[in-house]
Structure 1
Amino acid sequence: MLYSNHSAKLRKCLALGLLFLFLPAPQAAPPDMEKMLRLAEARYGAPAVVAVTQWRDAMATARGLTETEKINRINEFFNRRVVFVDDVEAWGKTDYWATPLESLGRGRGDCEDFAIAKYVSLRSLGVPLDRLRLTYVRAQIGGGSQAHMVLAYYPSPRAEPLILDNLVGDILPASRRGDLFPVFSFNSEGLWVGSGASEKASGSATARLSRWRDLIARMRAEGIEL
């Protein structure tokens, strides 16, 4: 999401990030779409069923594509299908991480929700974990610096990442996104501070508890196993 009080928000996000519990990450299983369709209808009604069906079809079509084609297809799908709003408007909370089902069910989400949905989709399509990072950045928007989240895709471990952003339709190399300044990034395996591709943050695994773990639990209950 975008915040005007970016410094306080970034400090909060980094503090939360350092508490993440990183769980083992085997090959992600395909989402249980039948379960998600039932939940979509029960929670949100017919429009949500249409949205989840479109996601299922987009995933099925993308499964046989190259990785480059997959990231383009998934990025375009969510940027077109979900409307950007902040958490207060979408959920009545100042900071909430929505599951893909929740984002599609409401048809709305903030930057974190876009990044999470793309991450989940690409993991389910077989993109290796070490190529994907959810990345908090400071974004230069309208002359100010605001907290924002994007999904970074690394074609190889030390390659320059490509940035999937709900605010910019084109997927561009990080070097062409001079408006973004990385703060920290994470996935199900670890957390990295700044823009370093290999400098993993330290900390006790038993102490890393956060909303990331809660998000994983909620996704599992909806039929998504990462």
Structure 2
Amino acid sequence: MKNKYLLIFIAISFFISFITAENLFNISSEKLDKVSKKYGKKAVQRVQLWDKVIEKAKGQDILYQLKYVNDFFNKVKYLRDSDHWGQNDYWASPFEFLGTGAGDCEDYAIAKYFTLRQLGVPDEKLRITYVKLKQRGTKYEQAHMVLTYYHKPTSTPIVLDNVNKKLKLASKRPDLTPVYSFNANGLWQAKNKGRTSVKVGENNLKNWKSMMSRI
């Protein structure tokens, strides 16, 4: 009798894993299995939704992709690193972000960046930008990160943000003051109050390298 139940359990497990694999388009079943073991069923559902978002956005025009990806990740719960990870500054990978179902500003920007790269948006058109965010109704500024999209190198970028959730040109975001920006291939320093920037070298940021090692 025990062997019978064991065989039934194995058969059901195989069936579930088969169905899960069949439903994936862009994420490997092995990766999903790791998410399941580490974070549980709800995390698996979030990653499956992410996979569907990528698939649905394929072949769409760039503004659709930007908005669709921005809207999807902005639904994830905001949580400070100190409360979430017990650290002052932790850059989560997209799988950690969706796996735990929470994160802070750089986690939103990083997840959006990698998703758009998955959709074929060239790296040179995307930068994760560290900014100073002016708090509404005050003179105070706080550290913040957003993703920026450049249609052309000299274009005013579109801002993908988890605070102001609407896509806006950077020129329409006077509350943001760029400090530096980066992608997988470089690091830029903002100049002229963020109106221009200059490449200062490769992306050797410690937090970026640490995050990349966990993907």
TM-score, normalised on structure 2? Answer: 0.82
Counterpart of 1:15 in structure 2 is: none
Q: What do you get for the CA RMSD once the two structures are aligned?
A: 1.7
Q: Where in structure 2 are there 5+ consecutive unaligned residues?
A: 1-24
Partner of 1:40: 35
Q: Which has the larger radius of gyration?
A: 2
Choose between structure 1 and 2: higher strand proportion.
2
- Structure 1 segments, 4+ long, off by >2 Å, are 30-33, 195-198
Contact 2:189 2:197 in 1 (8 A): no
CA contact (8 A) 1:103 1:113 kept: yes
**CA distance, structure 1, for counterparts of residue 209 and residue 123 of structure 2:** 17
| 1:132 and 2:149 are equivalent in the alignment | no
| Cα deviation, residue 31, structure 1 | 5.3
Higher relative contact order (CA 8 A, sep 6+): 1
Measure, in 1, the Cα distance between the counterparts of 2:197 and 2:179.
14
Report the counterpart of residue 177 of structure 2 in structure 1: 181
Confirm or deny: 8 A CA contact 1:185 1:193 kept in the other structure: yes
Alignment of 1:86-165 (within 5 A): 86-142=80-136, 143=138, 144-165=140-161
Tell me: CA distance 1:218–1:86, structure 2 relative to 1, closer, same or farther (3 Å).
same
CA distance in 1, matches of 2:180, 2:211: 19
Q: TM-score, normalised by structure 1?
A: 0.78
Q: Secondary structure at the match of 2:92?
A: coil
Alpha carbons 2:159, 2:167 under 8 Å: kept: yes
> 1:65 maps to what in 2?
60
Counterparts of 1:209 and 1:113, CA distance in 2: 15
